[in-house]
Amino acid sequence: MAARPEQVLFQDRGETLDEEGFGMLGRMMVALGEIEGCREFAALIPEVRTNLVYARERAKGRGDVLAIDGRITVVGGLPRAAGKVKFGASSHMARLVIELRKKDPSVRAGIDFAWTPHLSAWLEQYCGEKGWVFSVIDRHGEPEEIREAEGASMPWKVAEAVRAAGGKVPKIFYETGAIGKEPVSVLVGRDPVEVAAQACEIARKYHGPG
Amino acid sequence: MAARPEQVLFQDRGETLDEEGFGMLGRMMVALGEIEGCREFAALIPEVRTNLVYARERAKGRGDVLAIDGRITVVGGLPRAAGKVKFGASSHMARLVIELRKKDPSVRAGIDFAWTPHLSAWLEQYCGEKGWVFSVIDRHGEPEEIREAEGASMPWKVAEAVRAAGGKVPKIFYETGAIGKEPVSVLVGRDPVEVAAQACEIARKYHGPG
Amino acid sequence: MAARPEQVLFQDRGETLDEEGFGMLGRMMVALGEIEGCREFAALIPEVRTNLVYARERAKGRGDVLAIDGRITVVGGLPRAAGKVKFGASSHMARLVIELRKKDPSVRAGIDFAWTPHLSAWLEQYCGEKGWVFSVIDRHGEPEEIREAEGASMPWKVAEAVRAAGGKVPKIFYETGAIGKEPVSVLVGRDPVEVAAQACEIARKYHGPG
Amino acid sequence: MAARPEQVLFQDRGETLDEEGFGMLGRMMVALGEIEGCREFAALIPEVRTNLVYARERAKGRGDVLAIDGRITVVGGLPRAAGKVKFGASSHMARLVIELRKKDPSVRAGIDFAWTPHLSAWLEQYCGEKGWVFSVIDRHGEPEEIREAEGASMPWKVAEAVRAAGGKVPKIFYETGAIGKEPVSVLVGRDPVEVAAQACEIARKYHGPG
């Protein structure tokens, strides 16, 4: 059989990719190229590494979210994707974006990066200049029963980020560290190309002169 | 500035990628994944390696054609792209597809692979079964003045492939070897996903039992 | 000039590599191949990823320690080195091995991997069977003035691991988690090939039947 | 079992690597790093790509020769190894070095690269300045019965290169093109680090000013 363009084998035999998927994959490749070319962003990659995710218009679960298998790490001083762009390659960031979309469906992409008190203060001011909503998820406030129930954390986290921003879905927010958990910053947006460009601009301005 | 999705930096700063480009890039990634997963195709990769190309709807030059930087080689027994998918990464195959499109604009993608007398006979029969046009570019017939003029060969080659097929644009054809030139087979089609699926099917049937 | 085998350019122009360095590099490549081929080890790679380090006989600083640039992450379900094997590519693990060698100079290599209470209990029993010393670095006991002084932590950590093992240098030990810090296990030995084989055996036995 | 450093699993389970192998692997990695960092060498990589090989002291067959799986191709304008350094990864270049060693056992490494009439004339003069023996394998002289017998070509080729150099083993030589065969240049030497440094010096001088 000749493959119909709209119904092709993808990754695992038997899976198919549709028109939306092709366009999403292309955008992710361009976004990733932007990140991999941004030396300043390497300094913002946390110990747990960075992921970049992009959810389908009607995403229900992590299988509907493109992400980078093995995440993005630093090699030779530059950001580098460890593996391929695949649907289902992220758990945490994928679920975060899916949960956020319940509050604001225009959010379809996100990237996580390092957090320090100094960066955080800088980001809060930067968001002010941009007119972006900035927020925080303070894990200290997380009820014990939620923290221990598998999968129950994400709705609480997103609700907390929105609550702390006075009811708005934030553009940038961070999760505080906890025992065994590194604190990270998160930036979200409409698509990965936009999100990558914004993350790189932040990296360049934060590390730049003045 | 926040990147507008339809006007983003691509590869070299300053270049932009449009909607057609995103979709094309996604299709190339899926097509490449199909090739890289096909162990039987590794046996069809020639010494000069394989390229897979995909031309824009209105392609004028090689800069309008996606291809694989460094081509596809064999690593650990499997086909493997050496570098990234980029516009402008192919010369020969890009010009071949652009020239073919002057005869049949539905052709936008192509892949080259090995040639042996045995494979050639098999392909000719396979094309017969599929109802596909099979042809040959016999370099012995190439006029000396064309062979030696830089860039003049391609129009002659394509004209020859069409002439040898009785005026039809072939689906599969080969170029005979010459002094210093390895003979190669070429398969063309509407998009790289179709072309990759067809090339892999050929590889599996040719190497398979019976 | 023809390069003299014992005085060659390495990585950065001007650096040289000697006989000890060639042999070390070869052992690291073999050790890394062992890790990359061990699917079970992928499940032991922590969020902060794994590094594998190998110190020169007379190592003084991290520049004398081979490690993997970008560390080892999980791609397609298998461990995968993000970048190349280079001198100076590790900070934490390199300093840990250098500090340990002050107590036991036979230690030249080390690898870090995940920690969970269940794995920890299993490792303690496994060490008992092997006749290996098992220990722990409990960060809760770390004096505040040490934690906050840049670079002062490592001597305290190694002293603590030895103290907690009754004065012996441990074969396997772990660092407890802390605010923003993931807990990790560490295995050390004479060379990376030995260390990789031992780490993979642990991964296979821990994840295996029974 | 704890792996004994001199008897470790390598690549395929069950294979072992010895002291000579570790040192050889380290030298190949350094040599490859030299090639991958030499932008000018990219212009000397032929259509059939470049391989770099290194034979054991007592090499009998291609399994005793290190080479680069998938060869070295050009990616982003720089030489790039497609796959890993492995014993047995080369056929043609491995057999060439093994055959040459029968005439001169000090030859253990080799690299192949492009050939043009202009480069060839330049190399002949360069060899003169260096006091190196330059030679040629003219395939036109190859007896038909040898060309067609599988594996019979290499002894004839090496004998021809030595004969054409007046009985000496050449440092640099080339094979003329033939129907379906690209002409290539070859440089041989004692080890891959030497050979890589010499090949890169040639590339830089040939492409350099004046």
In three-state form (DSSP H/G/I as H, E/B as E, the rest C), the secondary structure along chain B is CCCECCEEEECEEEEEECHHHHHHHHHHHHHHHHHHCCHHHHCCCCCCCECEEEECCCCCCHHHEEEECCCEEEECCEEEECCCEEECCCCHHHHHHHHHHCCCCCCCEEEEEECCHHHHHHHHHHHHHHCCCEEEECHHHCCHHHHHCCCCHHHHHHHHHHHHCCCCCCCEEEECCEECECCEEEEEECCHHHHHHHHHHHHHHHHCCC
CB nearest A25 (choices: B26, B84, B194): B26
Q: What is the pLDDT of residue B143?
A: 86
Angle of helix C192-207 versus helix C117-130 axis, rounded to 10: 120
The predicted-structure confidence for A4-53, as pLDDT tens digits, reads as follows: 333 333 444 445 689 999 999 999 999 999 999 999 999 999 999 999 99
CB nearest A75 (choices: C75, C82, C178): C82
Min distance D22 CA to chain C CA atoms (Å): 4
Q: What is the pLDDT of residue C3?
A: 35
Chain C neighbors (3+ CB pairs < 8 Å): A, D
What's the rounded Cα separation, in Å, for the pair B152 and C159?
75
CA-CA-CA-CA torsion sign (D108, D114, D120, D126): negative
What's the rounded Cα separation, in Å, for the pair D66 and D64?
7
The predicted-structure confidence for A51-105, as pLDDT tens digits, reads as follows: 999 999 999 999 999 999 999 999 999 999 999 999 999 999 999 999 999 999 9
Q: Nearest CA to A63 among A81, A40, A90? A: A90
3-state secondary structure of D38: coil
Q: Is A164 within 8 Å of chain B by CB?
A: no
Q: What phi and psi values does residue C136 have, to the nearest 5 degrees?
A: -145, 145
What's the rounded Cα separation, in Å, for the pair C176 and C120?
11
- CA angle, C18 then C23 then C27, to 5°: 145
Mean pLDDT, rounded, for A183-195: 97
Q: What is the pLDDT of residue D146?
A: 82
A98 in the Ramachandran plot: left (φ > 0), alpha (ψ -120 to 50) or beta? Answer: alpha
Q: Which residue of B has its CA nearest to D80?
A: B82
Q: Is B74 within 8 Å of chain D by CB?
A: yes
Query: 């090496």: which residue's tokens?
Result: D158
Q: What is the pLDDT of residue D193?
A: 96
pLDDT higher than 80, residue B15: no
Are C127 and C171 contacting, i.e. CB atoms less than 8 angstroms apart?
yes
Whether the model clears a pTM of 0.90, i.e. scores above it, the answer is no
- The confidence band for C144, taking pLDDT boundaries of 50, 70 and 90, is confident
Residue A204, CB-side half-sphere exposure with 13 Å CA sphere: 11
Q: What phi and psi values does residue C68 have, to the nearest 5 degrees?
A: -100, 120
The predicted-structure confidence for D102-161, as pLDDT tens digits, reads as follows: 999 999 999 999 999 999 999 999 999 999 999 999 988 888 888 777 677 899 999 999
CB nearest A177 (choices: C80, C83, C179): C179
Query: 């640099």: which residue's tokens?
Result: D172
Q: Is D152 within 8 Å of chain C by CB?
A: no
User: Which residues are bridge partners to C134 per DSSP?
Assistant: C172
Q: Nearest CA to B82 among B118, B56, B51, B112? A: B51
Q: Best residue in B48, B75, B80, B87 to probe D by mutation, most D CBs within 10 Å?
A: B75
What's the rounded Cα separation, in Å, for the pair D74 and C134?
49
Chain B neighbors (3+ CB pairs < 8 Å): A, D
Strands C52-55 and C12-17: unpaired
CA-CA-CA-CA torsion sign (A41, A44, A47, A52): negative
Are B96 and B110 contacting, i.e. CB atoms less than 8 angstroms apart?
yes
CB nearest D82 (choices: B48, B80, B84): B80
What's the rounded Cα separation, in Å, for the pair D131 and B194?
56
The predicted-structure confidence for B57-102, as pLDDT tens digits, reads as follows: 999 999 999 999 999 999 999 999 999 999 999 999 999 999 999 9
Query: 């017969």: which residue's tokens?
Result: B128
CB nearest A73 (choices: C82, C182, C183): C82
Size of chain B, expressed as the number of residues it contains? 210
CA-CA-CA-CA torsion sign (B1, B7, B10, B15): negative
What's the rounded Cα separation, in Å, for the pair D156 and D144?
12
Instruction: Look at D177 and B177 and tell me if their CB atoms are within 8 Å.
Output: no
Q: What is the pLDDT of residue C209?
A: 55
What's the rounded Cα separation, in Å, for the pair D4 and C30?
13
Q: Which of residues 10-69 of B touch A (CB under 8 A)?
A: 10-11, 17, 19, 21-27, 29-30, 33-34
In order, the DSSP letters of C68-126 are ETT-EEEETTEEEESS-EEET--SHHHHHHHHHHTT-TT--EEEEEE--HHHHHHHHHH
Scanning chain A, the segments in alpha helix (DSSP H) are 19-36, 39-42, 92-101, 117-130, 144-148, 153-164, 192-207
Q: Which of residues 189-208 of A touch B (CB under 8 A)?
A: 190-191, 193-194, 196-198, 201
Q: What is the pLDDT of residue C139?
A: 87
Prediction ipTM score: 0.86
Q: Which residue of A has its CA nearest to B190?
A: A5
Q: Which residue of B has its CA nearest to D175?
A: B180
- The confidence band for B209, taking pLDDT boundaries of 50, 70 and 90, is low
pLDDT higher than 80, residue C171: yes
Query: 């990616």: which residue's tokens?
Result: D75
Other Cβ atoms less than 10 A from the Cβ of D1: the count is: 6
Instruction: Look at A181 and C180 and tell me if their CB atoms are within 8 Å.
Output: yes
What's the rounded Cα separation, in Å, for the pair B72 and B28?
13
Q: How far is CA B49 from the centre of its chain?
A: 11
List the structure tokens of A194.
Answer: 């936009």
